[in-house]
Amino acid sequence: MNNIKNMVKKSGTSFFWSMRLLPNAKRNAMYTIYAFFRHIDDIVDGNAPLEEKQELIRMALAAREKAYAPYSNFMVGAALRAKDGRIYTGCNVENASFTPTSCAERTALFKAVADGVTEFTDIAVVGSRRGEVNEQITSPCGVCRQALFEFGGPELNVIMAKTPEDFIERSMDELLPFGFGPSNVAGNAAVEK
């Protein structure tokens, strides 16, 4: 059982991408098997994932302090966990010309990619107006969803937090259904009907 569990866990995003090549019926069956083993994995791991998520949120909150947001005064922080465990943080970086502004999520993502890291498991996002405690959930904007989908695929877990104790999470597949990614360009993406 452990061998199968580890195989499923390690295969991660590549599993999802390769499943897109299969016909719908076979793919759905494979997803069911995958979900079953992932569920077992969650039970076996106990509370460890929660602590990891809270650590990611704390790092996003610290990154938010660095936000350069003199125009909107809306400060955002993000922390992106790579498959190898490394964490990349980012903040929003605004510009007098507005358009060049980078969101916190893309700042973190591009730092990682520039460092040669391109596979990710989770991203934590926090945002609120300058001087306010984190009272609201900030979800990634459409541009950031697209940028994250390129590397995280549908499986990337997006944690939207007020505090380390108060957060919601959704998969990238939920935030960007029918996302356009590398397999579409390669011409081998299967589309659900």
| Pair 86, 104: CB distance under 8 Å | no
- Pick 100 or 187: Cβ nearer ligand THU: 100
Residue 117 tokens, joined: 């890291």
- Tell me which of 18, 72, 171, 183 binds ligand THU, using CB under 6 A: 72
Comparing C-alpha atoms, which of 156, 157, 148, 144 is closest to residue 182?
148
Q: Which range in 10-18, 28-36, 80-88, 136-144 contacts ligand THU by CB under 6 A?
A: 136-144
* Residue 135, phi-psi category: left (phi > 0), alpha (psi -120 to 50), beta (remainder): alpha
Residue 107: its H or E element:
helix 104-114
* Min dist. Cβ of residue 143 to ligand THU (A): 8
* Alpha-carbon radius of gyration of the chain: 17
Query: Candidates 41-49, 52-60, 96-104, 110-118 — which segment interacts with ligand THU by CB under 6 A?
Result: 96-104
18 lies in the site for ligand THU, by CB under 6 A: no
Choosing from 56, 63, 76, 175, the residue that interacts with ligand THU (CB under 6 A) is 76
Q: Please confirm, yes or no, whether 192 is among the known catalytic residues.
A: no
Catalytic residue IDs:
105
